[in-house]
Structure 1
Amino acid sequence: MKRSIVVLLSLVLVSASLFAAGTKEQAPGVDNSLQKIMDKGTIVMGLDDNFPPMGFRDEKGELVGFDVDLAKEAMKRLGVELKLQAIDWNAKEQELNTGNIDCIWNGFTITPERQEAMTFTPAYIHNAQVVVVRDDSPYTTLASLSGKTVGYQAGSSASNAIDDTPEFKQSVKSFVEFKENLTGLMDLEIGGIDALVVDVTVAEDNIKRSGKPFRILEEELAPEDYGIGFRKGEQKLADAVWQQLEAMAADGTLARISTKWFGSDITVVAK
């Protein structure tokens, strides 16, 4: 009889321990995302390291960019250490969901499909998908690219913009996927493709920095917004980061960082 009681008490203690361990992670319906980051003291930001000016490697191989500067300041104010993790942009959702990174912050376009899969902050920058061509090419409109070869970055919102412009998509002879936008721009320069669909922020920065003979068609494919993506349901963490951006907007830090990278304040926080 005593042995049975001891065994029963042992099972109760084990069950209680397992329950406590489970609740420490995250019970269903409970959002402890912010507390987990605060307890850990670090947050891992996933980014494409070939996406200037949002995030890229400088001549020393260090990760720099507009989003990098924003994240550094926001996490400093939040009181946690920022760790930058370059990822394969085509596998960004998997990197987030498996816990390899804690957020995606790198010119990350908010789309209905992505909102179904993760939690986003509000938009902090307006963007657009545009078409870049060589300056000496005869192309001036989307229609003029009929029968031509057009490139875009795999896993990017450029593919959504193309899908959402069926007349343009059907008129193009073929599409070429690139792992990175910079690779696509290099292929455009040597004539491997006739045009590249890319974020206007990236296109303008590349033309300005490189001095390459590119131009942007006036006709846009789609307007879009940049946000910060977190795992689905991690609203408290998303809200805490957004509060830091709002504070940065209020004291002029956001405008200063934007001017550093874009020449003016193009952010839309608290506007």
Structure 2
Amino acid sequence: MMKRVLLTLIAAVMLTSSVWAKTIVVAQDATWPPMEFMNDQKEIIGFDTDYVRAVAKEAGFDVVFKNVAWDGIFAGLDAGQYDAVCSSVTITEERKNAMDFGIPYFKVRQALVVPKESTAKTLEEMKGKTVGAQIGTTGYFAIKKIEGVTAKSYDEIGLAMEDLFSNRIDGVVCDDPVAAQYALQKAEYAAKLKIAAVLDTGDEYYGIAVKKGNKEVLDLINKGIAAVQAKGIDKELRAKWMGQ
């Protein structure tokens, strides 16, 4: 009888564990260093990746990452192909109408990267020139607002930076940590490129996106973010990936 009771208790514990050990699949476009990118072993790494792992640990869920191209990443979320997107996603009113966001976790600005010999200090001074950005990003939208500047879209920011490095375009606009990664830290680019300006695009924050109405996943993510921020883990990750 005692053995039967013990086995029943073990089974109950295992059942409870399986109920609570929820796995959340998170999509990232791994082309955006230092936030999310691929290492030499073809693994997704970066600030956002580590941040989600920390959120998962604090909230008590497992996480699986899925590399998804930016131009289809939100459609995949809406179709239920994954549970969340954490890929340097700026929270905008338009996006809030289509999806739900967790607690904002990173303040970001847009930066203009140009060749070192350029005298431009604002995006407005790039009139008559071609400026690149990743398609569908706030950087691309910022360029489109400036009359006289030709906006060129790219599937990946690295392709835009390569065109700038090779003198095929005149500038690139992207999030400031990404601009710093290419213009200041990437050795082959640092000698030739510089950050000319930080653009005034208002208060811009990254958020983890979930499908509209998915309160279960959103609550878990917010629980984890709150703990990560309270413990200062986010500051540790910023120092690891950005040195500040």
TM-score, with normalisation over the residues of structure 2? 0.85
Task: Name the Cα RMSD after superposition.
Answer: 1.9
Instruction: For 2:21 and 2:229, locate their aligned partners in 1 and report how far apart those are by CA, in whole Å.
Output: 27
The C-alpha deviation readout for 1:33-82, integer Å capped at 9, x for no partner, is xxxx9667311111111111111011222110001001112112333221
Superposition pairs of residues 80-159 of structure 1, within 5 angstroms? 80-159=61-140
Paired residues in the alignment total: 223
Larger deviation, residues 139-148 vs 47-56: 139-148
What is the letter of the counterpart of residue 218 of structure 1?
A: A
CA deviation vs aligned residue, 1:147-187 (integer Å, no higher than 9, x gap): 11111101222233234xx3x2x121x22110001110011
- Residue type at the aligned position of 2:53: K
Aligned counterpart for 1:201 among listed residues 177, 180, 185: 177
Tell me the SS of whatever aligns to 2:227.
helix
Asked if the contact 2:21/2:60 (under 8 Å) is kept, the reply is: no
Query: Are the counterparts in 1 of residues 58 and 227 from structure 2 also a CA contact under 8 Å?
Result: no
- CA distance, structure 2, for counterparts of residue 182 and residue 221 of structure 1: 23
What residue identity is the alignment partner of 2:175? D
SS in 1 for 2:240: helix
Looking at structure 1, the residues matched to 167 and 24 of structure 2 have their Cα atoms a distance apart, in angstroms, of: 42
SS of match in other structure, 1:182: helix
Contact 1:45/1:85 (<8 A) preserved: yes
Q: CA deviation at 1:132?
A: 0.9
SS of the counterpart of 2:183? helix
Distance 2:91 2:108 in 1: 10
AA matched with 1:125: F
Change (3 A) 1:146 1:38: farther
Letter in 1 for 2:83: D
Q: Tell me the equivalent position of 2:167.
A: 191
Cα separation, 1, equivalents of 2:207 and 2:95: 11
Structure 1 stretches of 5 or more lacking a match? 1-36, 265-271
Q: 1 CA distance for matches of 2:101 and 2:95?
A: 9
Is residue 121–residue 227 contact of structure 1 (8 Å, CA) maintained in 2?
A: yes
Matches within 5 A, 1:208-247: 208-211=184-187, 212=189, 213-223=192-202, 224-247=204-227
Which stretch shifts more, 126-135 or 216-225?
Answer: 216-225
CA drift of 1:138 comes to 3.1
Q: CA deviation at 1:140?
A: 2.6
CA distance in 2, matches of 1:155, 1:129: 14
**Normalised TM-score (structure 1):** 0.77
Gaps of 5+ in 2: 1-17
Residues 1:53 and 2:27 are matched in the alignment: no
Tell me how far apart the structure 2 counterparts of residues 38 and 215 of structure 1 sit (CA, whole Å): 51
1:120-154 Cα distance to aligned partner (Å, 9 max, x none): 11211111122111112232322321111111101
Q: Which amino acid aligns with 1:43?
A: I
C-alpha displacement of 1:218: 2.4
Quote the offset at 1:83 in angstroms.
0.8
Q: Classify 1:38/1:244 alpha carbon distance in 2 versus 1 (closer, same or farther; 3 Å).
A: farther
TM-fit CA distance, 1:221: 4.5
Counterpart amino acid of 1:216? I
Provide the rounded CA distance (Å) in 2 between the counterparts of 1:186 and 1:77.
39
- Structure 2 matches for 1:152-167, cutoff 5 A? 152-163=133-144, 166=145
